[in-house]
Chain A
Amino acid sequence: MAAITFMKTPAESKLGEQFDALRALQPALPSTTRRAEAFERFAAKGLPHRRLAAWHYTDLRGLLRDAFAPAASPGAEQLAAASAYLQALPAPQGVRLVLVDGCFQPTMSSLDKLPAGVAVASLLDVLAEGSSFATDLLAAENLGSGEAMLALNAAFMQGGVVLTLAEGVRVAEPIDLFSFATARSPVALTTRSLVEVGAGASVMINERHVSLGNLASQGNHALVFALDEGAAVDHVARLDGFPATALHVGTVLARLGAQTRFNSFTLMDTPGVTRRQSFLEFAGPHSNATFRGVTLLDAKSHGDTTLVVTHTAPHCESREYYKTILDGESTGVYQGKVVVAPGAQKTDGKMLSKAIFLADGASMYNKPELEIFADDVVCGHGATVGNLDEDQLFYLRARGIPLKEAQSLLLNAFAADAIEGVATDAIRDELTGSVEQWLRKRQS
């Protein structure tokens, strides 16, 4: 039989050329082979498109007309811009790890503040060692198996950090993980970081993506969590400064051992196309995972939240709770999938997605999916789309509050209960502030 070849889009052809160029520069490392395999996996199917169920509502083949060149190592000017941004922020409570244009910057990171039992290494250094650990790191996409963008990430990853917490280490202050896009021409950024949390250890990871140049960028970022027995992770992801021309795909992979806790929150409030996808597996019993998020969309922005939570072990609980506000001609996507494998009895899995429309040009796509192969489970999902309550609005206006302000009041309340689950006060306040700012901008 003739091999089936698909028509490559210009972007796909370009990605092929870029990978060939990259490969020519790579030393002979085990990871080089893994990169090639990953690219093969990507190339076999190409950019995800609407005929794939998981990407039906975010057609990358259509959205990604051109594949930008991988970002070059940042120069002094870029580093200075990133530093300036950081300095404008309140002084960090804990450790700050910084990537600029995909490259880890030890000198900008506060490695001196690392608590005992916490180690940080550069992804590229770890890969260069050629250890089996590095190989495992690359194989992490077993979780999001078949995910084209994850394969592309493995092929192209430019940098990242490997953060390791020894057994029992409890890090009180959040660890900031910054990734800056500073380039002066449109670039692609590909980062991958790993957080390994030893038994009984706990940490909060504050994942922040910042665009400084107001330039088109194509980000493909992966953050891998591995939780040993009894570990606990809080995770918050945010984006800042991305223009309408930006594309951001961020993947979270999490494998949870027994009696662990994973609590993740994502705020999506920037223009452009953003897809945050999470793949989580309960590998041990009596664990709990919570995903919450607030998505604020206006103009032509496109926000996609995709989650696949797989209950392999019994007695685990998963919660997904997302609030979306749509204005302008924006598009919101929520795809949640809970898989209960045979034998994962006593699973308790629930999803809720609520969306509110503010403008007639907006669209919302909900796909809350259950795939259940064990009987002693309680699973459920709810999804609503609707408008602000007219009675409530009228009540507020009758008290003299102008329409847009009344809307803001109600929308704030709508978003607030998803933010409440964020563990750290300071970060929770920042998130609340971001929502208020988005609403104020809309009001003006």
Chain B
Amino acid sequence: MLEVKNLHVEIDGKKILDGLNLTVRDGEVAAIMGPNGSGKSTLSYVIAGRSDYEVTEGEVLLDGENILEIEPEERAAKGIFLAFQYPVEIPGVATMTFLKASLNAQRKARGDADLSTPDFMRLVRAAAASLEVNPDMMKRPLNVGFSGGEKKRMEILQMALLEPRLGLLDETDSGLDIDALRIVANGVNALRAANRGFLVITHYQRLLDYIKPDVVHIMSKGRIIKTGTAELALELEKNGYRDYVADAA
């Protein structure tokens, strides 16, 4: 479903991604691991369409279609969901309002009618319950004053509501204690489906104990330098990145 071909990306003239190739298949959970500064977060931003990055070469195909030329909201409507490493605070905008606006914007883009308020509420309540999110939180301004764990849970809740084709999880485990990590991981696992893929970006193997990947990629200096099974992640945890990174150099 997702094919990244020979992707070169710069920011302010500095090369971040350097000919990256990557495929995520239907139903697959792919993990990307790599040291800090290897370009993991850049990859997720470029796929989602953040404008500060300059793609100098390459393609990103979603179901065969190059999405690099389309706006972030169009990518979202096509099913790309980014769970942000640092979810953004939007003062004054109630979480519920935001969720409804997002869901209906995407439905409209796909030609579906707006969801009725009762239907919407049912969906939200169910998602909130499964992620152990206090319904009162939905009345608060989006992400404002949320704890790190609350923010991450809210990201997964949004993913559950928006039912994307591809879920990009950018360091979703960072800042989570062990209980929150389990809740978030269970949330993601519940969303695993034959017609959905995940790209899980993480620095630590820990998250992958809870979200079992089908495939693990190691990234360094803007490229995938090794691909393997879940075993690879365990190996990494034991030996550190150094061996692999040195190989690539």
A–B contact with Cβ pairs below 8 Å: the answer is: no
